[in-house]
Amino acid sequence: MIQIENLTKRYGRFTAVDGISLTAEPGRITGFLGPNGAGKSTAMRMLVGLTPPTSGTATVLGRRYVDLTNPAAQVGTMLDASAQHAGRTGREVLTLAAMMAGVGRAEVDRALERVALTPAEADRRVGRYSLGMRQRLGLAGALVGDPEVLVLDEPANGLDPAGIRWMRSLLQEFADEGGTVLLSSHLLHEVEQVADDLVVIGRGRIVARGTKEELLRSSSTLVDSPERARLGQALARAGLPAEAHPTGGFLVEAGPEPLARLALAEQLPLTEVRPGDQRLEELFLSLTADDAREHSA
β pairing state of 197-202 and 205-211: antiparallel
Q: In this predicted structure, what is the pLDDT of residue 89?
A: 96
The domain ranges of the chain are 2-215, 218-276
Q: Are 249 and 205 in contact (CB under 8 A)?
A: no
User: Phi then psi for 189, rounded to 5 degrees?
Assistant: -60, -40
Q: How many residues in total does the chain contain?
A: 297
Rounded to two decimals, the pTM is 0.78
pLDDT tens digit string along 127-182? Answer: 999 999 999 999 999 999 999 999 999 888 888 888 888 999 999 999 999 999 99
- Nearest in space to 229 (alpha carbons), one of 247, 250, 208: 250
**C-alpha–C-alpha distance, residues 246 and 248, integer Å:** 6
pLDDT reading at 292 higher than 60: no
**C-alpha–C-alpha distance, residues 108 and 119, integer Å:** 11
User: Phi then psi for 76, rounded to 5 degrees?
Assistant: -90, 125
Query: Same topology for domains 2-215 and 218-276, yes or no?
Result: no
Dihedral (CA of 123, 129, 135, 141) sign: positive
pLDDT reading at 279 higher than 70: no
Q: Highest-confidence range of 2-11, 28-37, 218-227, by mean pLDDT?
A: 2-11
User: Which of 121-125, 132-136, 139-143, 273-277 has the least mean pLDDT?
Assistant: 273-277
Q: Are 248 and 286 in contact (CB under 8 A)?
A: no
CATH 3.40.50.300 fits 2-215, yes or no: yes
Q: Are 176 and 170 in contact (CB under 8 A)?
A: no
From residue 237, alpha-carbon distances to 65, 254, 266 in Å are: 61, 14, 11
Q: Are 152 and 184 in contact (CB under 8 A)?
A: yes
Strands (E), the chain: 2-11, 14-24, 29-33, 55-60, 75-78, 149-153, 180-184, 197-202, 205-211, 221-224, 242-244, 250-252, 272-275
CATH 3.30.450 fits 218-276, yes or no: no
